[in-house]
Amino acid sequence: MQDIVSIEWIILAALCTATAAVAVWWLSPTSGAKSMEHDLLLGDGRTDAVFLFDENTLIGWSSGAKKFIGDRTDDFNWSSLRDQLARSYPGLPQSPNFLKDVGPLVLSGTANADSREAHCEWIDGITRVQLRRSTIEEQNKSLDQELTTLRAAVHQAPYPVWLQSDEGDVTWTNIAYDDLSNKIRGRDVDFEVPLFTDLEEPKASGRPERISIPLPEMEKKLWYNVSTTETEAGWLCHAVDVNAVVDAEVAQRNFVQTLAKTFAQLSIGLAIFDRNRQLVLFNPVLIDLTALPASFLSSRPNMLTFFDRLRDQRMMPEPKNYSSWRHQMADLLEAAAEGRYQETWSMPSGSVYAVSGRPHPDGAIAFLFEDITAEITLTRQFRSELEVGQSIMDHMDEAIAVFSKDGTMSFSNEVYHKMWNMDPDSSFAKVSIVDACRVWQDKSVATSTWGSIRDFTLGTENRDPWWCNVQTRSGDHLICQVCALQNGATMVRFKSADTPALPLEQQRFTAIAGQS
């Protein structure tokens, strides 16, 4: 009996020990973590993908997540998961700590996502990401909603959309197509007759083609870009209104034609290069001035090709070498873009062109070519005549000074410079009659002659010629003659009184003075 009691006590003690061991194991942290991990890995469906992270480290995953992880279990982390899911689930946090601060996130998958949603949450230090797949019922509901949305989008589209069979019959239209058809053809028309009759071009090219619809009783057309897509039900067609674009193109074309007609009447050659430095506009005068063929200019050459051809035609100054020519063209382009290119080209043929470059809107550059050969020739002739006249006057015995209407000295000869020890050309400032009178007064005996000459030069009345005698401080006696010239100018002449013979004009002045 005592043996039976001992055995019972032994069995009871063993049971208590086992129960205590199980309790200790259950309450241990490792066991709790494994149980929690097991619970967190359970998804809403067998195919759900579930990921568990401790900070950035992957610590657990479900069978549905293996296709994302593959054989990278050792180095797969939060960044690896985000690289795979960021496109399909926009908004996935950069760091799992974000979920600790803001709480759980439910991200909707894009059309390319395998699962409908991504559930992200932070639970007691563990980040859990679950990719939930949709049930058949949810998928059907989603498809119905998507189909309804697509139908509404196509039906309410602001441009005409219709379905046309291979035989050319219209089988379906949207509201915009119906409104356009009613506007143009009225309501009493066969529905199957297409509004856009010729679709061969967009069908063949596979890209939008511009097609017009004539308006009844009006000399006008409506223009649309029509594109077609072949489907099992027929040809799905879209028409986009481009009337504003067509009107703008017509207005631009008319404007360009007007400019071309205007430029054609100019005597200045015009060449406009666009922002890509290609020739986009020129006038007929440019052909005459540059001797470049119209076919070459119409081929839209770039700027370097254009000037290279001018150089080959000997229609611009010849460079010393080709290397310097390229540098010269680069400088020319930069100066023209800034509006500071203005040069005179002297051709080997003797022609002279004034060439200027100016910037235009949108990065374009315009070059102007003007033949100034006649002007330069006339200027050279005029300058040559002036030089001859100056040379003749310098060889005369008389000192001569000419003053313009406003009293500015415009001419004097070498004898005048030596007589009065002054050279107006050496001064930057203009010499006036007042300045000249001061010089004369400083170098002569006191006389009222200088004031009379000043009044005569600046006056408009009593412009009859006269003369008088003056004496310099050195004792020389001079005859001073004053007479009016054209355009209000005045000439003052000084001649030594010891000269034996006087000009006929001075003799006449002497006779008049003797009578007075």
Which residues lie below 8 Å from residue 116, measured CB to CB, with a gap of 6+?
108, 109, 132, 133, 134, 138, 142
40 pLDDT band (50/70/90 cuts)? low
Please tell me the predicted confidence (pLDDT) of residue 489. Answer: 92
Q: Is 210 exposed, middle or buried (0-12, 13-18, 19+ CB in 10 A)?
A: middle
Q: Which position has the higher pLDDT, 340 or 511?
A: 340
Sheet strand arrangement including 269-273: 279-282, 269-273, 365-371, 352-359, 341-346
Q: Tell which residue, 295, 290, 277, has the closest CA to residue 332.
A: 277
Mean pLDDT estimate for the chain = 80
465 pLDDT band (50/70/90 cuts)? very high
52-103 pLDDT, tens digit each: 999 889 998 888 888 888 888 888 999 888 888 888 888 888 888 888 888 8
Q: Is 155 exposed, middle or buried (0-12, 13-18, 19+ CB in 10 A)?
A: middle
CB 496 within 8 A of CB 477: yes
| 316 pLDDT more than 60 | yes
Q: Is 357 helix (H, G, I), strand (E, B) or coil?
A: strand
CB 372 within 8 A of CB 350: no
d(CA 135, CA 140): 9
| 26 pLDDT more than 50 | no
- Residue corresponding to tokens 């430029």: 263
370-417 pLDDT, tens digit each: 888 888 878 788 888 778 877 878 788 889 999 999 999 988 988 998
Percentage of the chain with pLDDT > 70? 83
Q: Looking at 91-100, 147-156, 293-302, 474-483, which range is the least confident one?
A: 147-156
Q: Is the pTM of this model over 0.75?
A: no
| 214 pLDDT more than 80 | yes
Please tell me the predicted confidence (pLDDT) of residue 402. Answer: 92
Please tell me the predicted confidence (pLDDT) of residue 374. Answer: 84
265-312 pLDDT, tens digit each: 778 888 889 888 899 888 888 888 888 998 999 899 988 889 888 888
CB 106 within 8 A of CB 118: yes
426-451 pLDDT, tens digit each: 777 789 999 999 999 999 999 999 99
Average pLDDT over residues 338-350: 81
CB 224 within 8 A of CB 241: yes
| 505 pLDDT more than 50 | no
32 pLDDT band (50/70/90 cuts)? very low
Please tell me the predicted confidence (pLDDT) of residue 450. Answer: 92
Pair type for strands 269-273 and 365-371: antiparallel
d(CA 258, CA 267): 17
Average pLDDT over residues 255-270: 75
